[in-house]
Every structure is written in structure tokens, then in C-alpha cells.
Amino acid sequence: MSNNQTLDIAEVSRHSGVPASTLRFYEEKGLIISVGRQGLRRLFQANVLQRLELIALGQNVGFSLDEIGAMFTPQNVDIDKKLLLEKAAELDQNIQHLIAMRDGLVHAAHCPEPTLFECPKFLKILRITGKAKVKQEKQKKKPLQSGG
């Protein structure tokens, strides 16, 4: 356990759903920081939970841990804004493609054509796919505590 200001690794893990091993890994990568030790044991500030949410979100939208780490460093503040708009535009492109693909999949699932290759709409998606390399999230399951 920890005092009322800090969390130990088990508490962070419990609150965030992120395994302790991953928390150590993230710390080693510089994605989160521990604010001290109690003996050997890491102590975290409560805001690490927010940080972890951001990391998870970043991953969900397709950023690598390295990219996420880069976004956390405040040195880049000046170029940040420009970068952000670039990223936003990039994301927007991806969104358009994903929407087309999603619609295509839904269509394909209901399409009466004997083979998908005879379905014009599906062929259209193939063409979209050929043009756009969409960065895709790795569907990862979050270990939820059914803590009730």
C-alpha cells in the first residue's frame, strides 16, 4: 500500500487495468514516471492514470508507443500545433477510408453476388484499399475487472 498521495504499482494496475509488468515496461520506455520509491517499490502519482488513458487512446487510434512518447515531451511545443493539424488531416483521410471500408464490409456481408469479385461495390473498396494504407488499430482486449 501507499499513502494518501501516491499509488503503488498494484493500485495503478487495478485502477487502470494495465498489468504491472506493462507499467514497468512503460516506465522504462519513458511513457510514465514513478515519483519515488518506498524501499524498492515504485510510487506513482494519481495522474499516471490519466496518462495511461492517453496512452491507451493513442494506441487505439494507431500511434506507436514511440510516437506517443514523442507527443508527451513538451520540448516540441512550437512545432506541436503544426504537427497536430497535420496529424488531424492524416486522421481525417484515414477516417474516410475506414468509412468506405466499413460500408463495403457491411455491403459484402449482405451482397447477393455469387462471388465478391462480381460485386461492383466490393471491387470499389479494393480500389480504395489499393490507394490507402490505413493505419490500423490492433484490437487488444482490456482486462476488465468484473469487480462486483
Partner DNA sequence: ATACAAGTTCAAGTTAACTTGAGGTCAAGG
Partner DNA sequence: CCTTGACCTCAAGTTAACTTGAACTTGTAT
The residues that bridge with 7 in the sheet, in sequence order, are 44
Category of 2 on φ-ψ map: left (φ > 0), alpha (ψ -120 to 50) or beta = beta
Query: Please, is 55 exposed, middle or buried when counting C-beta atoms within 10 Å of its C-beta (0-12, 13-18, 19+)?
Result: buried
Q: 73 or 118: whose CB is closer to DNA? A: 73
Residue list 82-101, contact with a copy of itself (CB under 8 A): 82, 84-85, 87-88, 90-92, 94-95, 97-99, 101
Distance of CA 120 to the CA centre of its chain: 34
Decide if residue 143 touches a copy of itself (CB under 8 A): yes
Among positions 25, 65, 116, 124, the unique one binding a copy of itself when judged by CB under 8 A = 116
* Contact call for residues 111 and 121 (beta carbons, < 8 A): yes
H or E element, residue 135? none
Does 50 sit near a copy of itself (CB under 8 A)?
A: yes
Residues in region 9-68 near DNA by CB under 7 A: 9-10, 19-22, 24-25, 38-42, 59, 64-66
Closest CA to 58 of 71, 68, 70: 68
Angle between helices 65-72 and 48-60 (to 10 degrees): 130
Interface ranges with a copy of itself (CB under 8 A): 10, 13-14, 17-20, 50, 53-54, 56-57, 59-62, 71-72, 74, 77, 80-82, 84-85, 87-88, 90-92, 94-95, 97-99, 101-102, 105-106, 108-110, 114-117, 123, 125-127, 129-130, 132-139, 141-148
Interface ranges with DNA (CB under 7 A): 1, 8-10, 19-22, 24-25, 38-42, 59, 64-66, 140-141, 144, 147-148
